[in-house]
């Protein structure tokens, strides 16, 4: 194993006052009435330098993901930055996540894209490795096909191998040699559960696969209680009830409208997400024997419940979280509620989450972020009465140079309103006279934008553009009706909402109507292309990053993936042919310049969609540009791909909209 040395960037700040449940921090100095400094492209394009941080069980060590030469690597070190070991990325793969199995053995998940033998599509893959704290004794612990090199080691494995190996159900803290891992080892689309030895790869199947189950869930006792997934286009859901019987939830009345959010300490009581009188999704306790709700835990008239929070040590349900504009955690466990209060009183003006805890000690890992700050990690030690700054989530991002994000309510043509977020360049109190970018999100269904720091929006605002992110119908978090309204509305209601949001920005925001570009990635790229098809005079240009251009092709590819047939049912526009709402089939109607950016290893939207769109536009003598990247994946997950994309975007917008 060859190791890299990453310079320690931990800035430690010890503060007193925890006895009074308050710690004072000086707020970062914000520029008042002045424009932000021009932040370099490479700063916005950088991968997080301190991501997915996790405490070791003893609370004396920390692991986090950072980037090295454009790839994500894992750093293991003591809290003070000493005894640092870097686990490198694999050949053509990056580290996706990791887990402390014990204080001395770490599980590492690698992610990459490849076209597997017998498949005609590029697909995402994950592989699971284990390594000692000192970097030694590393091995691929799910045996199978030849995969990759890590440092000087080569993984020599047998065929076949499970495509996804990251679904760890239980780290089994009382059994330091084993974990419970769900995976599809026989490639039949259904997942079994292994009890896997993390030192020698020996395993025992403890739960056979069940037709249509791709996801297994456990309660706090370590009992497998729930299996869900797809069999073809049909949903499957089975539950181990309080009497110890496996039942199909599809045959129960309550499961038609509710979904399981977690398990309580009572095996006959579960937490469910269910619609309420406001039309949003609340959190409730439901008795399995009667199928009735017995307690309301959370309701909000505007937004859905996010989910159940679990105790970091016992895995018992201890609270819940939700997102209005930012993340909020609420604990019904008195100890963790007190911890959250301490953190919130100490870190004002940020959204704060307790994301880790040392075993048997009152030592906690905290992440605080805001609209202008991608985040800072803190180490809270109640015994020492201190809260130490560990590191920023992203290096080089100064909150004083980032723009505030304003929640907005946007009227649409049917008389209702949709939520959204407006980011103005720093130093501007209004959008009057500014060039603008409309930035619809990807997904589309069940995904939403928040007021949190967004590298696309902040980059564009830093370059002088007003940025509008509309949460069109189909977005998640605002109730089932709001989300379902987007089904089969590609080029329809979802597109109309984006159009109405643009017109609102002109009428009420006062932006320069002649300098608006629509920009997006994935489905957002589709919305950008379809926007200039349907509204040829509204936008000055369009930018699609790994965007959908041809729905028939996307549907054909989706059939190769588990759940793909169900996804297909929500695509397209009801009452219209897929060709009618495919930008590639209507390229002749586009009148403005188009920038297309795509990565060759995109496993979600094949890069040929953008390539073929570019060829059609070129043949029609339309203005535009096509940028093809060797890698980056669907989300542009390398620093090089992000930098290339932002550089092309900046140049294109300057050419089309001016300074």
Confidence of residue 120 (pLDDT cuts 50, 70, 90): low
pLDDT at 139 over 70: yes
pLDDT at 269 over 70: yes
Alpha-carbon distance 169 to 551, whole Å? Answer: 35
**363 in a domain, yes or no?**
no
- Structural domain range at position 584: 403-657
Number of domains in the chain: 1
Share of residues in the chain with pLDDT > 90 (%): 71
Confidence of residue 17 (pLDDT cuts 50, 70, 90): very low
What integer pLDDT is reported at residue 281 of this predicted model?
A: 96
- Look up residue 507 and give its DSSP letter: I
Task: Provide the sign of the torsion angle of the four alpha carbons 448, 453, 454, 457, taken in this order.
Answer: positive
pLDDT at 323 over 70: yes
- Look up residue 509 and give its DSSP letter: I
pLDDT at 13 over 90: no
What integer pLDDT is reported at residue 4 of this predicted model?
A: 31
Question: 147-161, 280-294, 610-624: lowest mean pLDDT where?
Answer: 147-161
Q: Which residues contact 109 (CB under 8 A, 6 or more apart)?
A: 95, 96, 97, 98, 126, 127, 128, 129, 165, 166
Compute CA distances 474 → 348, 483, 522, 601, whole Å.
Answer: 33, 4, 15, 27
Half-sphere exposure of 122 (CA within 13 A, CB side): 16
Tell me the per-residue pLDDT of 439-460, one tens digit each, with 9 for 90 and over: 999 999 999 999 999 999 999 9
- The full DSSP string for 517-586 is EEEEETHHHHHHHHHHHH-TTT-SEEEEES----HHHHHHHHTTSTTHHHHHTTSSBTTS-GGGG-GGGG
Tell me the per-residue pLDDT of 351-409, one tens digit each, with 9 for 90 and over: 999 999 999 999 999 999 999 999 999 999 998 989 999 999 998 899 999 999 999 99
Confidence of residue 131 (pLDDT cuts 50, 70, 90): very high
User: What are residue 408's DSSP bridge partners?
Assistant: 420
Confidence of residue 35 (pLDDT cuts 50, 70, 90): low
Mean pLDDT of 5-9: 34
What integer pLDDT is reported at residue 119 of this predicted model?
A: 61
Helices (H), 245-391: 334-346
Peptide bond connecting 240 to the previous residue in cis, omega within 30 degrees of 0: no
**Class of residue 120 by CB neighbours under 10 A (exposed 0-12, middle 13-18, buried 19+):** exposed
Confidence of residue 519 (pLDDT cuts 50, 70, 90): very high
Residue 574, both tokens? 């009801």
**Is the full-model pTM beyond 0.85?**
yes
Print burial letters for 369-388: b (CB count within 10 Å at least 16), e (below 16): bbbbbbbbbbbbbbeeebbb
Alpha-carbon distance 26 to 552, whole Å? Answer: 55
What integer pLDDT is reported at residue 70 of this predicted model?
A: 66
User: What are residue 445's DSSP bridge partners?
Assistant: none
CB 214 within 8 A of CB 230: yes
Mean pLDDT of 596-623: 94
Question: 166-170, 296-300, 472-476, 594-598: lowest mean pLDDT where?
Answer: 166-170
Minimal CA–CA distance to 270: which of 281, 254, 256? 254
**Cβ atoms within 10 Å of 246's Cβ, excluding its own:** 12
Better pLDDT: 28 or 117: 117
**Range from 82-91, 186-195, 418-427 that averages highest in pLDDT:** 418-427
Half-sphere exposure of 324 (CA within 13 A, CB side): 11
pLDDT at 484 over 90: yes
Confidence of residue 551 (pLDDT cuts 50, 70, 90): very high
What integer pLDDT is reported at residue 560 of this predicted model?
A: 67
Tell me the per-residue pLDDT of 631-645, one tens digit each, with 9 for 90 and over: 888 988 888 999 999
What integer pLDDT is reported at residue 557 of this predicted model?
A: 80
**31 in a domain, yes or no?**
no
What integer pLDDT is reported at residue 68 of this predicted model?
A: 80
**528 in a domain, yes or no?**
yes
What integer pLDDT is reported at residue 115 of this predicted model?
A: 67
Strand 139-140 to 149-150 pairing: unpaired
**151 in a domain, yes or no?**
no
pLDDT at 579 over 70: yes
CB 198 within 8 A of CB 181: no
**How much is the mean pLDDT over the chain?**
88
Q: Give the position of tokens 């300057």.
A: 654
What integer pLDDT is reported at residue 238 of this predicted model?
A: 92
What integer pLDDT is reported at residue 631 of this predicted model?
A: 86
pLDDT at 163 over 90: no
pLDDT at 588 over 80: yes
Main-chain dihedrals φ then ψ at residue 166, nearest 5 degrees: -105, -5
Confidence of residue 144 (pLDDT cuts 50, 70, 90): low
Mean pLDDT of 567-577: 88
Better pLDDT: 23 or 509: 509
Task: Provide the sign of the torsion angle of the four alpha carbons 240, 241, 243, 245, taken in this order.
Answer: negative
Q: Give the position of tokens 């949903």.
A: 235
**106 in a domain, yes or no?**
no
**Range from 3-12, 142-151, 235-244 that averages highest in pLDDT:** 235-244
Q: Which residues contact 139 (CB under 8 A, 6 or more apart)?
A: 129, 130, 201
**296 in a domain, yes or no?**
no
Peptide bond connecting 538 to the previous residue in cis, omega within 30 degrees of 0: no
What integer pLDDT is reported at residue 161 of this predicted model?
A: 77
pLDDT at 148 over 90: no
**509 in a domain, yes or no?**
yes
CB 272 within 8 A of CB 261: yes
CB 656 within 8 A of CB 625: no
What integer pLDDT is reported at residue 118 of this predicted model?
A: 58
Mean pLDDT of 269-275: 94
What integer pLDDT is reported at residue 492 of this predicted model?
A: 97
**549 in a domain, yes or no?**
yes
What integer pLDDT is reported at residue 11 of this predicted model?
A: 32
What integer pLDDT is reported at residue 453 of this predicted model?
A: 97
CB 426 within 8 A of CB 443: no
Decide: helix, strand or coil at residue 440. Answer: coil
pLDDT at 211 over 70: yes
What integer pLDDT is reported at residue 563 of this predicted model?
A: 65
User: What are residue 235's DSSP bridge partners?
Assistant: 230
- CATH value at residue 549: 3.40.50.1820
pLDDT at 469 over 50: yes
Share of residues in the chain with pLDDT > 70 (%): 90
Strand 541-545 to 594-599 pairing: parallel
Tell me the per-residue pLDDT of 45-78, one tens digit each, with 9 for 90 and over: 988 999 999 999 999 999 999 988 767 899 999 9
């Amino acid at each position: 194993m060859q190791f890299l040395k990453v310079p320690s960037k931990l800035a430690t700040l010890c503060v007193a006052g925890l006895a009074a449940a308050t710690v004072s921090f000086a707020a970062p100095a914000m520029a008042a009435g002045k424009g932000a400094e021009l932040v370099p492209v490479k700063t916005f394009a950088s991968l997080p330098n301190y991501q997915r941080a996790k405490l070791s069980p003893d609370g004396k060590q920390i692991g986090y993901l950072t980037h090295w030469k454009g790839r994500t690597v894992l750093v293991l070190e003591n809290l003070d930055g000493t005894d640092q070991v870097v686990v490198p990325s694999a050949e053509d793969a990056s580290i996706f996540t990791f887990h402390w199995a014990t204080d001395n053995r770490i599980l590492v998940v690698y992610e990459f894209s490849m076209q597997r033998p017998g498949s005609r599509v590029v697909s995402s893959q994950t592989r699971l490795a284990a390594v000692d704290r000192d970097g030694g004794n590393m091995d691929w612990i799910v045996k199978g096909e030849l995969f990759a090199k890590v440092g000087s080691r080569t993984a020599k494995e047998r065929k076949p191998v499970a495509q996804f190996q990251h679904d760890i159900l239980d780290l089994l803290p009382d059994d330091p040699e084993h974990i419970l891992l769900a995976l599809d080892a026989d490639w039949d689309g259904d997942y079994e559960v292994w009890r896997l030895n993390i030192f020698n790869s020996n395993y025992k199947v403890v739960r056979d696969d069940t037709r249509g189950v791709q996801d297994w869930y456990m309660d706090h006792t370590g009992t497998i209680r729930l299996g869900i997934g797809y069999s073809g286009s049909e949903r499957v859901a089975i539950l181990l009830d309080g009497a110890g019987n496996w039942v199909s939830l599809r045959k129960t009345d309550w499961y038609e409208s509710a979904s399981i959010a977690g398990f309580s300490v009572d095996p006959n009581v579960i937490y469910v997400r269910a619609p309420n009188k406001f039309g949003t999704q609340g959190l409730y306790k439901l008795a399995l024997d009667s199928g009735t709700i017995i307690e309301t835990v959370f309701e909000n008239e505007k937004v859905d419940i996010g989910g159940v929070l679990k105790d970091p040590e016992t895995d018992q349900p201890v609270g819940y979280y939700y997102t209005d504009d930012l993340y909020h955690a609420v604990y019904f466990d008195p100890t963790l509620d007190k911890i959250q209060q301490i953190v919130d009183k100490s870190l004002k003006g940020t959204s704060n989450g307790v994301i880790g805890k040392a075993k048997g000690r009152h030592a906690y890992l905290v992440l605080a972020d805001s609209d202008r700050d991608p985040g800072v990690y803190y180490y809270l030690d109640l015994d020492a009465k201190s809260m130490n700054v560990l590191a920023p989530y992203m290096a080089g991002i100064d909150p004083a140079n980032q723009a505030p994000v304003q929640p907005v309510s946007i009227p649409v043509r049917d008389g209702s309103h949709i939520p959204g977020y407006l980011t103005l360049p720093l130093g501007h109190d209004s959008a009057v006279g500014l060039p603008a970018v409309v930035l619809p999100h990807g997904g589309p269904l069940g995904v939403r934008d928040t007021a949190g720091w967004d590298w696309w929006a902040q980059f564009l605002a830093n370059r002088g553009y007003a940025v509008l992110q509309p949460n069109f119908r189909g977005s998640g978090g605002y109730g089932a009706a709001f989300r379902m309204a987007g089904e089969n509305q590609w080029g329809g209601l979802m597109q109309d909402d984006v159009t109405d949001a643009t017109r609102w920005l002109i009428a009420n925001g006062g932006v320069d109507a002649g300098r608006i570009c629509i920009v997006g990635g994935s489905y957002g790229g589709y919305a950008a292309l379809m926007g200039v098809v349907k509204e040829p005079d509204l936008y000055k240009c369009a930018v699609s990053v790994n965007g959908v251009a041809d729905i028939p092709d996307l549907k054909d590819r989706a059939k190769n993936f588990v759940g793909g047939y169900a996804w297909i049912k929500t695509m397209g526009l009801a009452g219209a042919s897929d060709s009618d709402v495919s930008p590639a089939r209507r390229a002749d109607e586009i009148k403005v310049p188009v920038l297309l950016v795509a990565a060759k290893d995109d496993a979600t939207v094949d890069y040929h969609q953008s390539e073929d769109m570019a060829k059609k536009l070129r043949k029609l003598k339309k203005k535009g540009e096509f940028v093809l990247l060797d890698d980056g994946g669907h989300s542009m997950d390398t620093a090089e791909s992000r930098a290339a994309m932002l550089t092309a975007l900046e140049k294109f917008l300057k050419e089309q909209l001016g300074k």
